[in-house]
Chains A and B, each alone.
Chain A
Amino acid sequence: MKAHARAGVSGIAWAIVPAALLFVLFFALPFGVMAALSLLSGNPVSNPNVAFTTRNYARLIDSDLYFDALIATLRIGVVTTALALLIGYPLAHWMARMRSRLGHALLLMAVIAPMLTGIVVRTFAWMTLLADRGVINTTLTWLGFIDKPLPLMYGEFGVVIGLVHIYVPFMVLTLVGVIGRIDPALEEAARNLGAGRLRTFLEVTLPLSLPGILAGSLLVFALAISAYVTPVLLGGGNVLTLPMLIYQQVSASFNLGFAGALGVVLLAVSLMLVVAYNAILGRLSGERRLA
């Protein structure tokens, strides 16, 4: 890299053009338009005398409904990410340390199989499991543990369960690569020097897999706060998140300006958290290196 960097831009650099065009025209420009629309009083194409306004944002702050939706979205995102990490890490660790190729392949299949089943279908599967007369409640009643069905569905609990199931494969696949690259000799060295299994994990494996934890968590958080299908179906009207509000504004009210404002807020929040999370974890690994 260092030797070639001075050689100047080579001909193959032109291969970036299709991707650059795609991103400028259909990614950067649309997001700019979204931000612009959120600050205008109307449609600038059909209405020549639109004015600059902040009323879309004022509406968002003034209303408890919209503010609560923002908080609920973030809460669901954080809880989903934490749970996905909690159950994704052990599985990724097992996969990365699996010596048998067959065992590794079987585990990989178990992780990828849910990804190959559509999001809508998986959410439906959770509905059949969590519903009042679903599999879990029927079984528990039959076993005599409960008299009336547990309220598993139609609330944040059901939404989080569904989201964790949908996004945990992303966490696992991100972590497997990182954990797999940690040299087992480092762990063995720690063990030989007298560290217990837990201490070896906490002081060797875990810090070395921080980049994977960071990448996987960011991915899952981003996916969870933008989920639409699962909160609608498993929330059953009791859960309101920003993506649901955004689609409502477009489909029912056709208020592109307010939808844009909601979009900008969701965008800003996710960007802010991404940066903050990065900084915290960066400092953590820095301290470890100094210690």
Chain B
Amino acid sequence: MSARLDPGRLAYYAFNGAIVFFLLLPIAIIAVFALNPTPYIAFPPVGVSLRWFVKFFSSADFMNSLWLSLRVAVVVVVLATVIGALAALAIARGNLPGARLLTAVFLSPLMLPAILTGLALFQVFMLAGIGRPLWGLVVGHTLLAVPYVLRTTLAVLHDFDRRIEEAAAVLGAPPARVFREVTLPLIRPGVMAGGIFAFIVSFDQFPISLFLVVPNGETLPVVLFNYIRFALALAVVFAFERLIGLRAYVRL
């Protein structure tokens, strides 16, 4: 197990280094352009300025959508962690028939195109005549967030020594107390990891939001997308003149 650098090893590290560069380059680029004072893409950058951040935070459109995205994401995190953790407990501990199939069903929103989930929900809401309510958006995001919580919680539950719970029960703790003092603290890392995923999934959710947001009630990704597309229409003059808001968004 020596650390000598033969050609194979060298190629391995060079390739991996290139991959990390590929992953981080766009993020570095966004940071550079966010601080660049010109209103169009100027490369190499000509200076440092915070004007785009000021513009972003003083724009009512961006602030309203940012606020909406945050509120939706918080509600989604709460719903998804509760529903997902409960389902994981039921699957791992409930002796349910077909637990494997149930897991596959609950994970399926990750495998099926999310844009179809958005379309299907939109069609149901239209047929039912309820339009596009905010709770519909929250439900759509929750559907995609639950699988993450379920997966992380199930992973913890599988690695979990059940004898700890049995010991607590043998020592006289009622089931509720075993759950509160033994099970819950042990699965908490899994649930919390799932909750973090749930937040990201909701905050960055695009395909479902695309169908379920109402005009003037759009989430931040949808607003930014429309902003860029609008900018593309004006591309003749300065392709990216209108993209200022984005430069600030990367800091969020």
Q: How large is the interface on A (under 10, 10 to 19, 20 to 34, 35 or more residues)?
A: 35 or more
A144, CB-defined interface residue at 8 Å: no
Min Cβ gap B2→A in Å is: 12
Q: Are A120 and B225 in touch, CB under 8 angstroms?
A: yes
Query: With a CB–CB cut-off of 8 A, which chain A residues contact B90?
Result: 12-16, 19
Does B73 sit at the interface, judged by CB under 8 A? no
Within 8 A of A (CB), among B203-226: 203-204, 206-207, 210-211, 220-221, 224-225
Cross-chain contact A165 with B22 (CB below 8 angstroms): yes
- What is the bound-complex CA distance between A26 and B232, given in angstroms? 35
Q: Which residues of B contact A10 (CB under 8 A)?
A: 93-95
Q: Given the interface contacts A165-B26, A229-B206, A233-B228, does A12 sit within 8 Å of B93 by beta carbon? A: yes
Instruction: Give A260 to B116 CA distance when docked, in angstroms.
Output: 9
A45: chain B residues at CB < 8 Å are 127, 129
Does B190 sit at the interface, judged by CB under 8 A? no
Q: A105 at the A/B interface (Cβ < 8 Å)?
A: no
CB pair A13–B122 under 8 Å, yes or no, is no
Instruction: Tell me if A152 is interfacial: C-beta within 8 Å of chain B.
Output: no
Interface contact B207-A226, CB-CB below 8 Å: yes
Query: In the bound complex, what is the Cα–Cα distance between A182 and B82 (angstroms)?
Result: 33
User: What 1/0 flags go to A6-27 for Cβ under 8 Å of B?
Assistant: 0111101111101110110011
Q: Is A202 part of the binding interface, using a Cβ–Cβ cutoff of 8 Å? A: no
A12: chain B residues within 8 A (beta carbon): 89-90, 93-94
Contact indicator B110/A19 (Cβ below 8 Å): no
- A114 and B240 in contact (CB under 8 A), knowing A121-B224, A256-B123, A266-B116? no
Check: B87 CB closer than 8 A to any chain A CB.
Answer: yes
| Residue B83 lies at the interface, judged by CB distance under 8 Å to chain A | yes
Q: Does A115 contact B (CB under 8 A)?
A: yes
Which residue of chain B lies nearest to A99 when distances are taken between CB atoms in the complex?
A: B1
| Cβ of A228 under 8 Å from chain B | yes
Q: Flag if A129 contacts B26 (CB, 8 Å).
A: yes
Q: List 14 A-B contacts (CB under 8 A).
A: A13-B96, A20-B87, A22-B83, A22-B139, A23-B143, A120-B221, A131-B240, A133-B43, A226-B115, A236-B232, A243-B115, A246-B116, A266-B113, A270-B111
